[in-house]
Amino acid sequence: MDSLQDLMDITLELDTRYHERQKDKSHHQEESPEASKSNYSHPQSSSSSNKKNNFQKRDKPHSSLLNKKFKLINSEKEGRIKEGLCTYCGGKYSLESCFERPQNKLS
């Protein structure tokens, strides 16, 4: 690619092809949904499931600190109080001065 115009032309071609492909896929599925499911595998489904698994793995440590109502479990709350940390966000200040707490945010 030598110029911005070349890049724009290629981008337009790719975009046009993408939309043609989407139209072909939807038309094919309308004709025979059972056949399209058995003969066509969705490559993005594996990547989206990987993203979902990565998201769940990344958030799992925090979920162990919360109960089903998304409140801190008692042992975590007591530990934060004992260490002088905010019980809302875990910051090194009191709950009353927490700017993350919705009641304390300025309007």
Q: What is the pLDDT of residues 8-33, one digit of tens each?
A: 888 888 888 888 888 888 777 766 55
In whole angstroms, what is the distance from residue 90 CA to residue 82 CA?
A: 12
Q: Which of the two residues, 15 and 38, has the higher pLDDT score?
A: 15
Q: What is the pTM of this model?
A: 0.36
Q: Which of the two residues, 12 and 105, has the higher pLDDT score?
A: 12
Nearest to 88 by CA among 73, 106, 104, 101: 101
Query: Does the pLDDT value for residue 48 go beyond 70?
Result: no
Is residue 38 a contact partner of residue 31, using CB atoms and an 8 Å limit? no
